[in-house]
Structure 1
Amino acid sequence: MSFKFAPWPLPANVQAGWTTRQGGVSRAPYGSFNLAHHVGEPASTVAANRGLLRQRLPGAPTVTWLHQTHTNRVVNVTAADPQQGQDGSYCTAIGSACCVMTADCLPVFFWRADGAQVAIAHAGWRGLADKILLATLASFEPGSRIYCGIGPAIGPAAFEVGPDVRAAFNHWPGYERFFQPERGKYLCDLAGLAADQLLSAGVQRVYRANACTVQNPDLYYSYRRDGQTGRMANLIWKLAL
């Protein structure tokens, strides 16, 4: 299966989900559904996979691809700039899909309860420490009832980090409980940190895929596990009803 729909209670006019590494035309080490141009695969192969992806999405939305550089910048899909580092996008229009690519980092989905706006953010530990999730929330009108979901990402049993990563979160109340000591380093629950930030900021509920990219090599790309590898696409968009 090349695309998994998020198993969360979304508004009737909202679709969301993520690709797997299956069902495309890429060869090893990108086998087989790599969607990223920057990892070293021929551009024609990536373009073919992106074409397959759009065909498989209900409503065939136009996917807005970002130039992700672990920033905390979030833009309307109409203002996406391939020359600028941008790691989140939002949209109120029908026919455009917000998208981030991942291979261990958190893909975090956002939607208004009434389906009027959707958004998505790419959150590695740097972006999370720099409050990209709060920047994405700021794109919604004040007082909006917002729900979130966290897609497949590196899990707490696989994400070993040093004291520098832990120190990057020392501004966040209670951050210590998301870092478990392990042989002089720490196992970091990145998704737990993200959920805590979102709920503390007023998000109604945070759903989680609970799928570790590192521990599922048949389904997901993982940069930490493989080094040279492809990227999954994580998308959220609005349908016409």
Structure 2
Amino acid sequence: MLNKLQLADRALLKPGWPAPENIVAYTSTRKGGYSSVPFDSLNLGQHVFDDPSVVAKNRSLLPNYENYVWLKQTHSTKCVNLADMNNTDSDQVEADASYTSLKQRVCAVMTADCLPILVCDKQATKVAAIHAGWRGLADGVIENTISKLQLDTKNIMAWIGPAISQAHFEVGQEVKDTFSDYPQAFKPNIETSDNKYFVDMYLIAKQKLSALGIQNIYGGDRCTYAESDLFFSHRRATHQGLEAGFAQVTTGRMVSAIYIKQS
């Protein structure tokens, strides 16, 4: 049976950032769990038609899993304070970001292409986790979360975890128009006559964070679509399903998590 040490050694991606020693942060990969195909193997989403008991078993492998509060993500801008919640709220509260100053309480978001953003300050007084799909990114989930922290943004650092890269994220004119302030984030798809573009969500997120005064920004260099051995990808699963003639998209979810360790 896998133990947490084995899982951490081979299945968790750690940020390359100079966070304080008592900040614990990671993104899970798809390796090291118990789920069967197509959720193989460390699926952490209870809403994707995987066996709930197996998902619970997968979640129990995570470091400090007892102190997770799982969100019911809806592509909103809502950010909740985990001090106002308890473990029984898991998978019930609709929000797309969370923050806390409580030690050991885990801020976590699930993704399978969207941007996961982990945040802490240099003094390790607060942490936050943000789920940013293109709608949440456009509507201000980053800005809303950072405002909740009430910290000097010069003391904040952010790490952007694995998400779909520009090379694989084709969007239509609606998305391009939504991000009209970021024209440099779009490249036209020259292989189609339609108004289709490839968008760099990493670039938009970095520019939004920078505009808030956050100077210490890391990550944004992994692709969930391309790295199929490590990451789940909703869009990749969609393309594979269409090619195979299936209408239903079935894929797992990773988690990006951060907490302040008890000293």
Give the TM-score range, shorter chain: over 0.9
> Structure 1 segments of 4 or more deviating over 6 A?
none
Larger helix proportion, structure 1 or 2?
2
Task: Report if the CA contact (8 A) 1:103-1:153 is conserved.
Answer: yes
Structure 2 regions of 5+ residues with no counterpart? 1-9, 238-248
Distance 2:236 2:145 in 1: 29
The amino acid that maps onto 1:151 is G
1:1-241 aligned within 5 A = 1-53=10-62, 57=63, 62-80=67-85, 81=89, 82-144=91-153, 145-170=155-180, 172=181, 175-182=182-189, 183=192, 184-226=195-237, 227-241=249-263
The amino acid that maps onto 2:234 is Y
Distance 2:24 2:92 in 1: 28
The amino acid that maps onto 1:120 is A
The SS at the match of 1:65 is coil
Task: Report if the CA contact (8 A) 1:61-1:237 is conserved.
Answer: no
Task: Report if the CA contact (8 A) 1:22-1:31 is conserved.
Answer: yes
Distance 1:77 1:107 in 2: 18
Larger-gyration structure (1/2): 2
Task: Report if the CA contact (8 A) 1:61-1:95 is conserved.
Answer: no
> Is the alpha carbon distance of 1:61 and 1:115 closer, same or farther for their aligned partners in structure 2, counting shifts above 3 Å?
farther
Distance 1:67 1:20 in 2: 20
Give the alignment's TM-score, normalised by structure 2: 0.86
> Is the alpha carbon distance of 1:185 and 1:60 closer, same or farther for their aligned partners in structure 2, counting shifts above 3 Å?
closer
Distance 2:260 2:66 in 1: 9
Q: How far did 1:237 drift?
A: 0.5
What RMSD, in angstroms, separates the aligned Cα atoms of the two structures?
1.4
> Is the alpha carbon distance of 1:209 and 1:180 closer, same or farther for their aligned partners in structure 2, counting shifts above 3 Å?
closer
Q: How far did 1:143 drift?
A: 2.5
Query: 1:75-108: CA deviations, max 9, x gaps?
Result: 0123355444200000101111100000000001
Q: How far did 1:60 drift?
A: 5.7
Instruction: Give aligned pairs, total.
Output: 234
The amino acid that maps onto 2:235 is R
Give the alignment's TM-score, normalised by structure 1: 0.93
The SS at the match of 1:224 is helix
Distance 2:229 2:142 in 1: 29
Structure 1 regions of 5+ residues with no counterpart? none
